[in-house]
Chains A and B, each alone.
Chain A
Amino acid sequence: MKNRTASHPGRLAKMKSQIGNFVLSLYGILGFLFLYLPIIILVIFSFNNSRSTAQWAGFSTQWYAEMIQDDQVILALWNSLFVAVVSTIVSTVLGTLAAMAMERYAFRGKLVMDALLYLPIIIPDIAMGIMLLLFFNISGIGFEPWRLRFFGLRFAVPYSVIIGHVAFNISFVAVVVRARLAQMDRTLEEAANDLYADNWRTFRRVTLPMMMPGILGGALLAFTLSLDDFVITFFTSGAGFNTLPVRVFGMIKRGVTPKINAVSTLMLAASLLLVIVSLVTRRGGEKAPIDLNL
Chain B
Amino acid sequence: MSLRTLESVNRFINQRSESLLQKMRQFPSLTAWLLLLPALSWLIIFFVAPLFIVLAYSFLERGTYGGVTWQFTTENFARVFDPLYLKTFLRSVYIAIVTTVVCLLLGFPLAYYISTRPPRRRNTLLLALMIPFWTNFLIRTYAWLTILRTNTGLINVSLISLGILDKPLPLFGNDFAILLGLVYGWLPVMVLPIYAALERLDRSLIEAANDLYAPGSRVFLRIIWPLSLPGVVAGSMLVFIPALGAFVTPAILGGGKSLMIGNIISNQFLAAHDWPFGSALSTLMMGLMLFATLVYFRSTRRGEEIEK
A, B assembled together: yes
Q: Which residues of A contact B (CB under 8 A)?
A: 16, 20, 24-25, 27-28, 31-32, 34-36, 38-39, 41-42, 45, 52-55, 93-95, 97-98, 100-102, 104-108, 113, 116-117, 119-120, 122-135, 138, 163-164, 166-167, 170, 174, 199, 224, 227-228, 230-231, 235, 245, 248-249, 252, 256, 260-261, 264, 267-268, 271-272, 274-275, 279, 288-289, 291, 294
**From A31, A116, A252, A288, contact of B43 by CB (8 A):** A116
* C-alpha gap A106/B33 in the complex (Å): 10
Give every chain B residue within 8 A of A107 (Cβ-Cβ). Answer: 28-29, 32-33
Distance between B280 CB and nearest chain A CB, rounded to angstroms: 12
Q: A116-B48, A271-B136 are in contact. Are A123 and B286 (CB under 8 A)?
A: yes
The proximity string for B residues 240-281 relative to A, scoring 1 for CB distances below 8 Å and 0 otherwise, is 011011011001100000000010011001000001001100
Distance between B80 CB and nearest chain A CB, rounded to angstroms: 16
Give every chain A residue within 8 A of B36 (Cβ-Cβ). Answer: 97-98, 101-102, 113
Give every chain A residue within 8 A of B137 (Cβ-Cβ). Answer: 228, 230
A248 touches B35 (CB 8 A): no
Q: A107-B29, A135-B50 are in contact. Are A248 and B138 (CB under 8 A)?
A: yes
B282 touches A54 (CB 8 A): no
B245 touches A268 (CB 8 A): no
* C-alpha gap A119/B241 in the complex (Å): 13
Q: Which residues of B contact A (CB under 8 A)?
A: 25, 28-29, 31-33, 35-36, 38-40, 42-43, 46-51, 53-54, 57, 67, 106, 109-110, 112-114, 116, 123, 125-132, 134-140, 142-147, 149, 152-154, 156-158, 161, 184, 187-188, 192-193, 196, 216, 234, 237-238, 241-242, 244-245, 247-248, 251-252, 262, 265-266, 269, 275, 278-279, 282, 285-286, 289, 293
B191 to A, closest residue via Cβ = A31
* C-alpha gap A170/B43 in the complex (Å): 9
**From A24, A130, A231, A294, contact of B248 by CB (8 A):** A231
Q: A127-B282, A267-B135 are in contact. Are A39 and B234 (CB under 8 A)?
A: no
* C-alpha gap A271/B114 in the complex (Å): 24
A167 touches B46 (CB 8 A): yes
A108 touches B29 (CB 8 A): yes
* C-alpha gap A208/B102 in the complex (Å): 45
How many residue pairs, one in A and one in B, have C-beta atoms under 8 Å apart? 238
Q: A41-B143, A130-B282 are in contact. Are A125 and B245 (CB under 8 A)?
A: yes
B34 to A, closest residue via Cβ = A101
B133 to A, closest residue via Cβ = A35
* C-alpha gap A93/B37 in the complex (Å): 12
A24 touches B32 (CB 8 A): no
**From B135, B238, B289, contact of A39 by CB (8 A):** B135
Q: A116-B43, A132-B46, A291-B196 are in contact. Are A35 and B139 (CB under 8 A)?
A: no
A40 to B, closest residue via Cβ = B143
Known: A126-B266, A231-B247, A264-B143. 15 other contacts (CB 8 A): A24-B113, A25-B113, A32-B125, A35-B188, A52-B152, A53-B154, A54-B158, A107-B29, A126-B245, A126-B282, A133-B269, A138-B67, A248-B142, A271-B134, A291-B192
What's the dominant secondary structure at chain A's contact region? helix
**Residue of B123, B129, B136, B293 with highest tally of chain A CB at under 10 A:** B136
A246 to B, closest residue via Cβ = B138
**Residue of A116, A124, A252, A289 with highest tally of chain B CB at under 10 A:** A124
Give every chain B residue within 8 A of A35 (Cβ-Cβ). Answer: 128-129, 132, 184, 187-188
* C-alpha gap A166/B43 in the complex (Å): 9
* C-alpha gap A164/B193 in the complex (Å): 29
**Residue of A27, A41, A105 with highest tally of chain B CB at under 10 A:** A105
B157 touches A55 (CB 8 A): yes
A-B pairs with the 9 shortest C-beta distances?
A: A124-B245, A105-B32, A28-B113, A107-B29, A135-B50, A101-B35, A131-B50, A38-B143, A98-B39
B29 touches A248 (CB 8 A): no
Offer 10 A-B interface pairs, CB within 8 angstroms, sorted by A: A28-B113, A38-B147, A107-B28, A119-B47, A130-B269, A132-B46, A134-B269, A135-B49, A252-B252, A267-B135
Q: A166-B42, A275-B134 are in contact. Are A38 and B33 (CB under 8 A)?
A: no
Distance between B226 CB and nearest chain A CB, rounded to angstroms: 20
Q: A39-B132, A126-B265, A235-B269 are in contact. Are A289 and B53 (CB under 8 A)?
A: no
Give every chain A residue within 8 A of B187 (Cβ-Cβ). Answer: 35
Distance between B37 CB and nearest chain A CB, rounded to angstroms: 8
